[in-house]
């Protein structure tokens, strides 16, 4: 996997910079080609000579130095790199990346890079938990940059906290997983729906549900990481979509159905993770309904079953549905799988306190026509999304 992989290793000014020497050495042992780019502050902790000795490549430290008049060094490295690994990444350097700053060799080279970027933070726990850092990390994620989050451990300040850079061995393992998944759906066109639709009662009120969209957005991210061309059809959500997705914003079930139909024939995979309203008000009031009587009766009509209708038109598309249930989970899920002509279904019980709607975690069952494929423990929706993408990749076109 690492054989002849070109890795640009960015080192910023943290005491954890000494770990990057081991990281560079381990990458080289696995067959990677490594070039190192250092910030000025990083050189206060580790010398460029140490990295040059290990990598057998000159370390890039100064944007004004151009040893070869035929090349522009930072552009050359940016084009050369298959993976750009920022380890350690300080709070300051993360802020630079998030805001597109380019005032030194490292930030300028990274800004010119279009390939895979992986940030490995290292900082004090207070800095890691600061709202500014949280905003910057979220910006990087939305830009499609992978974060290998820090761990809890002994910090330079002399106490244990969550901000310690993960060890080089774990970075290598995570990078292996990242690279192994990067081609699972390469070239595939995938639609994922997310969020809870809104059915208008009048200009200020609507019927909806508790869906936050977290599952659908996590699936979109996982599909992008797997190389897919992703269209995200989202009901209103507070979440920010990955910049690599084609985002289509909708409100009602009818809006979502139209968007799905418009894109379905051009897709290879459809994952309906949205919580689509089953009913809508029969009559929409153009004016705000006044509070006159003690009771207000709303007449509701069924919305179209998007999944059931769309699968009637499918050719070779692989279609995945979701079943959020409060009782008889597996039985109801298997019935939905059959009656809606799905290839796979993800089922979860939404009555749990730590799973389901609005939670960052879930516990699901993956089901196809053979029965339960597997079930997860309570784990992050991000991890569940990766498992779903892997299962799809193993079954599509088979």
Q: What is the pLDDT of residue 317?
A: 95
Checking if the pLDDT of 355 tops 80, the result is no
Residue partners of 52: CB distance under 8 A and separation at least 6: 36, 58, 59
Q: What is the pLDDT of residue 252?
A: 97
Query: Domain holding 373: CATH number?
Result: 3.40.50.10300
Query: Domain holding 176: CATH number?
Result: 3.40.50.1950
Residues 149 and 223 in one domain: no
Rounded CA gap, 203 and 215, in Å? 29
Distances (CA, A) of 198 to 238, 250, 267, 310: 14, 9, 25, 20
- Per the DSSP assignment, residues forming a β-bridge with 229 are 189
* 59 contacts 37 by C-beta, under 8 angstroms: yes
Stretch 352-370: mean pLDDT: 85
- Which one is predicted more confidently, 149 or 356? 149
* 280 contacts 251 by C-beta, under 8 angstroms: no
Residues 222 and 176 in one domain: no
Residues 122 and 142 in one domain: yes
Q: What is the pLDDT of residue 75?
A: 93
Distances (CA, A) of 230 to 216, 226, 284: 12, 10, 34
- Per the DSSP assignment, residues forming a β-bridge with 160 are 154
Residues 172 and 260 in one domain: no
Checking if the pLDDT of 398 tops 70, the result is no
50-74 pLDDT, tens digit per residue, is: 999 999 999 999 988 877 777 889 9
Residues 128 and 211 in one domain: no
Which of 209, 251, 341, 383 is labelled catalytic?
209
Residues 302 and 371 in one domain: yes
Residues 169 and 277 in one domain: no
- Confidence class of residue 390 from pLDDT cuts 50, 70 and 90? very high
Rounded CA gap, 191 and 319, in Å? 10
What 3-state DSSP class applies to 189? strand
* Residue 1 in domain: no
* Residue 157 in domain: yes
Stretch 245-253: mean pLDDT: 97
Query: How many other C-beta atoms are found inside a 10 Å radius of the C-beta of residue 146?
Result: 18
What percentage of the chain carries pLDDT values higher than 90?
Answer: 76
Among the listed ranges 65-69, 182-186, 260-264, which one has the minimum average pLDDT value? 65-69
Could you check whether the bond before residue 116 is cis, i.e. omega within 30 degrees of 0? no
Q: What is the pLDDT of residue 48?
A: 97
90-140 pLDDT, tens digit per residue, is: 999 999 999 999 999 999 999 999 888 999 999 999 999 999 999 999 899
* Residue 125 in domain: yes
Q: What is the pLDDT of residue 43?
A: 97
Rounded CA gap, 126 and 91, in Å? 11
> Cα 78 to chain center, whole Å?
23
Where would I find the H helices in the chain?
17-29, 48-55, 73-80, 91-99, 105-111, 125-128, 131-142, 168-181, 214-225, 253-264, 306-310, 329-339, 381-395
* Residue 265 in domain: yes
Residues 288 and 341 in one domain: yes
Residues 265 and 152 in one domain: no
Residues 168 and 199 in one domain: no
Question: Minimal CA–CA distance to 195: which of 137, 253, 242?
Answer: 253
274-332 pLDDT, tens digit per residue, is: 999 999 999 999 999 998 878 889 999 999 999 999 999 999 999 999 988 888 889 99
Domain span at 98 = 6-181
Checking if the pLDDT of 84 tops 70, the result is yes
Let me know if 209 is a catalytic residue.
yes
Q: How many domains does the chain have?
A: 2
Residues 239 and 159 in one domain: no
Residues 105 and 193 in one domain: no
Residue 350 host element (H or E): none
Domain boundary among 181, 215, 244: 181
pLDDT, mean over the chain: 93
* Residue 288 in domain: yes
Buried b (16+ CB within 10 A) or exposed e, 258-284: ebbeebbeebbbbbbbbbbbeebbeee
């Amino acid at each position: 996997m690492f054989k002849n992989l070109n890795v640009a290793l960015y080192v910023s000014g943290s005491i954890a910079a000494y770990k990057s020497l081991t990281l560079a050495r381990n990458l080289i042992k696995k067959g990677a080609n490594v070039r190192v780019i250092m910030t000025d502050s990083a050189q206060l902790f580790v010398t460029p000579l140490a990295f040059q000795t290990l990598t057998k490549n000159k370390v890039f430290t100064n944007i004004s130095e151009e040893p070869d008049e035929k090349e522009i060094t930072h552009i050359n490295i940016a084009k050369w790199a298959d993976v750009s690994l920022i380890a350690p990444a300080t709070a300051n350097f993360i802020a630079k990346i998030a805001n597109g700053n380019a005032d030194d060799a490292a930030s300028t080279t990274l800004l010119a890079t279009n390939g895979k970027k992986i940030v490995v933070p290292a900082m004090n726990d207070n800095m890691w938990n600061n709202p500014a850092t949280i905003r910057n990390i979220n910006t990087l994620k939305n830009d499609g940059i992978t974060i290998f989050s820090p761990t809890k451990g002994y910090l330079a300040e002399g106490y244990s906290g969550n901000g310690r850079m993960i060890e080089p061995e774990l970075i290598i393992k995570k990078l292996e997983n990242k690279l192994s998944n990067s081609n699972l759906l390469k070239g595939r066109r995938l639609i994922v729906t997310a969020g809870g639709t809104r059915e208008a009662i009048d200009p200020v009120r609507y019927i909806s549900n508790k869906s936050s969209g977290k599952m659908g957005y996590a699936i979109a991210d996982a599909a992008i990481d797997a190389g897919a061309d992703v269209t995200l059809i989202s009901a209103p959500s507070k979440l920010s979509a990955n910049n690599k997705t084609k985002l289509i914003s909708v409100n009602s079930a009818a809006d979502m159905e139209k968007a799905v139909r418009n894109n379905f024939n051009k897709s290879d995979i459809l994952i309906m993770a949205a919580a689509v309203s089953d009913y809508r008000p029969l009559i929409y009031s153009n004016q705000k309904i006044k509070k006159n009587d003690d009771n207000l009766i709303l007449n509701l009509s069924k919305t179209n079953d998007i999944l059931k209708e769309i699968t009637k038109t499918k050719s070779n598309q692989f279609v995945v549905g979701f079943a959020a249930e409060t009782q008889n989970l597996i039985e109801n899920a298997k019935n939905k799988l059959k009656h809606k002509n799905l290839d796979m279904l993800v089922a979860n019980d939404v009555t749990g306190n730590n799973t389901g709607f609005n939670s960052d975690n879930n516990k699901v069952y993956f089901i196809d026509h053979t029965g339960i494929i597997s079930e997860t423990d309570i784990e992050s929706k991000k991890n569940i999304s990766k498992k779903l993408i892997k299962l799809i990749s193993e079954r599509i076109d088979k």
